[in-house]
Amino acid sequence: MQFPAPVSITWIAEFIQAELVGNTAGEAIGINEIHKVEPGELVFVDHPKYYDKCINSAATFIIINKKTAVPEGKSLLVTDNPFEAYCKIVNHFNPFTPAEKMISDRSVIGEGSYVYPGSFIGHNVRIGTNCIIYPNVTIMDNCIIGNDVMIQAGSVIGSDAFYYNTKKDRAQWFKKMPSGGRVVIEDGVEIGAGCTIDRGVSHDTIIGSGTKFDNTIHIGHDTVIGKNCLIAAHVVVAGYVVIEDGVTLWGQTVVNKTLTIGANAVLLGRTGVSNSLEGNRTYWGAPAQDAGVVKRELVWIKRIPQLWEKVMGK
């Protein structure tokens, strides 16, 4: 999530009541999660397992719960509860703003685009030219819709990320991490009926140009889908997934989090993806394997009774 303008790191340290160690003259341009963080941004870490990864990431400013060595040019913001500090910053720069109309006066809808009655368009949404938004579509705050996009009835664009603090020291229940990211849908995309696309936690969920969705598909937070992909009904994609250009996911495929599917891969129906996959190949099964290998294995499995009879001399 980018800030409206660079913010003094000393102000942020005071705002979250943290001790500032290292560079005290810097300015933060935004706040992000470890998988997406970039130079000039803030990130938080509250577990020793991830200290080194976080401190040595691209982040310039690290909210942490232990004073430790800090690389030159970077800053530590030491506080007892980095997660709460992170949430406070996100909520300050991206506060909840109630809706007063079905189509916000702060949204922009391009020439030639049509929004059917019953659809909701949130604050700061930008919809390009020649789009069709069918009935009962919900597009939440800050989402970006390109040109020549079609979104069928009942789809939800920009719902909150499914992202919670699961640490056992929580007071009562899982603590929700506020979603400061957006959904960005590029030109020529078609979204079927009843689809849900979650906004990024602190970065963007992106659907690349020319990609086509069937009905009832779910895309998790911060996932990036490339150009000209085809995704059939009932596909589920978890968070922080990268699906490169030209990929086809057939019906009921399930993709686990934080992995990459290479360009032009084809995943046959009901494939389960638990690890990254190379491009330009066809996959099937759960876990996903080369489809040709799986089919040959099935042929041999069917022959087992016949082979058993031969072995037993029947």
228: tokens are 């000209």
Give the up-direction half-sphere exposure of residue 290: CA atoms within 13 A in the CB hemisphere.
Answer: 7
Q: Determine the Cα angle at 37 with ends 204 and 207, to 5°.
A: 20
Q: Residue 284 is encoded by which pair of tokens?
A: 């099937």
The CA distance from 186 to 126, in Å, is 11
Residues 6+ apart with CB under 8 A from 273: 253, 254, 255, 256, 259, 261, 267, 283, 287, 288
What's 246's DSSP letter?
T
Catalytic residues: 221
- CA–CA dist 158, 219 (Å, integer): 10
Rg (the chain; Cα; Å): 23
